Structure 1
Amino acid sequence: MAIVSPTHAQSLPGGFVYLRDIDPSIIQDIRYATSNNFVGRPLAGYGAGECVVKREVGLRLKAVQEELAAQNLSLKMFDCYRPARASLDMVKWSQNGHETAAERRYNPKIPKTELFRLGYIASRSRHSTGAALDLTLVDLKGDNSAKYDPSRIYADCTAQAEARAPEGSVDMGTGYDCTDAKGHTAAPSINVAQRAWRKRLVAAMARQGFVNYSKEWWHFSLPGAGGAAYDFPIQPRRN
């Protein structure tokens, strides 16, 4: 069983832990703490790019990671606990009356005012309970060196992997946070290899009790591990 230092645990409420304290081998790319996301800036409450989860969630992720490590694979976290204020920040963004070209990369066919109605974004998210996650797989034997360049113009999230923004992960058929039918887990429009990667991720997560959201190949939750929604900000983890 993983040991969590008391100094770290005391800084987080409600049984939350820093995933890095449970398993530092799990790769983290917490996108809402950066400008590399559909809003184009860090979201409210993301004071650090750290994955924070309920302890049970973290222990189960560790078990998934141990299984994947034997296959030269790793989990990569895009989002974990999300402060409630960040979801409200998304609401304000959707209602600001304009869309930039960079924003359209994430929702090429759907106006952002429709994202909430269609269930792609929620004003009250299960992420705020610490029991929901956004993640992907990384092939540790592959070339993951390409980095996101904010000055570059990329194709939209449904384009071929070499044309869309790099994510340093396997090709799942779309980029992360792609609000398009192609991002649905069982989308028929992706190729055989992409479908195989999605199935591999879903199966590995399911073996530890995680359930995938059918409209987002990257989104998983652990039934029964949530509870109340929280709004504490994500702060830098103390060493």
Structure 2
Amino acid sequence: MTLRLPLRAFPLFAGLLLARHAMADSTPVLSPARTAAEAGLVDIRQLVPDIAEDIKYAGSDNFVGAPVDGYLAPKCLLLKPAAEALARVEHDLQAQHQRLQLFDCYRPARAVKHFVRWAGDLEDQRTKAEHYPNLDKSALLGDYIAPVSGHSRGATVDLTLMQCEPDDTHCKPLDMGTSFDFFGTLANTDSPQATPAQHANRALLRAAMEREGFRNYAMEWWHYTLSIVPAPNVIYDVPVQ
């Protein structure tokens, strides 16, 4: 007998099936999903229409210095549980006249391949001064740029914290010590190179994210992943559009 499922059941069923297969050999499996809807990805602005976004890889203001493969629009897509948790973080922060600013969310697998190609092109040094001033580009593959990214699982977000005026206007990013996607130890969340004020700002962001179930990646103060991912060993390659 052939099992037939309605389209709306595809993300959950396919994710669980692929996750079981991936867990058997501990390698990520690429989902066959062709669209965000099939993957179960939602636009965060469906939940928070006015959330601040500066989606770096949709433009040229990033370490590659060009729009990245798979980013056809400056949008933040996440699996629904991650999007709902992030919306709660934003809502909670507003009581302190604070807001989030998003740099990246779901990342297509093809974008990660673009990063790896860029890292292998040692002649391209256009963004060194801003993004990796103290490192040789050949050192970026590994801890900083990996062939598989957690972002491709749909439950990781790169972001910062903004402080707003008492009337909730003129929100300004807090000083975190580095820009987004700075490759170096100063970007480590608990870096001893950061000032006390920068540590305090990073702690504010971490506390807000942890309250809703996100955990930080210690090498990057901006990087957070939802602790419980529906299909943790499944990655997606649908475009952001």
TM-score range, shorter chain: 0.7 to 0.9
1:85 aligned to which of 106, 110, 113: 110
Q: Distance in 2 between matches of 1:182 and 1:116?
A: 18
CA, structure 1 residues 101+15, in 2 after alignment: closer, same or farther (shift >3 Å)? closer
Mapping for residues 197-236 of structure 1, pairs under 5 Å: 197-227=201-231, 228-235=234-241
Give the C-alpha shift of residue 226 in structure 1. Answer: 5.0
The DSSP-based 3-state class of the residue aligned with 1:134 is strand
Give the C-alpha shift of residue 129 in structure 1. Answer: 0.8
1:140 equivalent to 2:140? Answer: no
Q: Which runs of 5+ in 2 are unaligned?
A: 1-7, 12-34
Q: Which amino acid aligns with 2:76?
A: C
Give the C-alpha shift of residue 49 in structure 1. Answer: 0.2
State the partner residue of 1:26.
Answer: 51
State the partner residue of 1:71.
Answer: 96
Q: Which amino acid aligns with 1:122?
A: A
CA contact (8 A) 2:36 2:238 kept: no
Q: Distance in 2 between matches of 1:226 and 1:34?
A: 30
Q: Distance in 2 between matches of 1:203 and 1:226?
A: 23
Comparing both structures, which one devotes a greater share of its residues to helix? 2
Deviations 1:100-154, CA, capped at 9 Å, x for gaps: 343331011112221122x11221001001011100011122856xxxxxxxxxx
CA contact (8 A) 1:173 1:190 kept: yes
State the partner residue of 1:177.
Answer: 181
Percent pairwise identity: 39
Query: In terms of mean alpha carbon deviation, does 80-89 or 93-102 score higher?
Result: 93-102
Q: Distance in 2 between matches of 1:129 and 1:72?
A: 31
Give the C-alpha shift of residue 188 in structure 1. Answer: 1.1
CA contact (8 A) 1:128 1:231 kept: yes
CA contact (8 A) 1:129 1:226 kept: no
Q: Distance in 1 between matches of 2:109 and 2:200?
A: 34
Deviations 1:18-72, CA, capped at 9 Å, x for gaps: 0010111321111000100000001000000000001000111111111111111
Q: Distance in 1 between matches of 2:230 and 2:178?
A: 28
Give the C-alpha shift of residue 219 in structure 1. Answer: 0.3
1:50 equivalent to 2:56? Answer: no
Q: Distance in 2 between matches of 1:100 and 1:195?
A: 30
Mapping for residues 94-109 of structure 1, pairs under 5 Å: 94-109=119-134
CA contact (8 A) 1:182 1:190 kept: yes
| Greater RCO, 1 or 2 (C-alpha within 8 Å, sep 6+) | 2
1:116 equivalent to 2:120? Answer: no
Q: Which runs of 5+ in 1 are unaligned?
A: 1-5, 145-167
RMSD: 1.8
CA contact (8 A) 2:122 2:137 kept: no
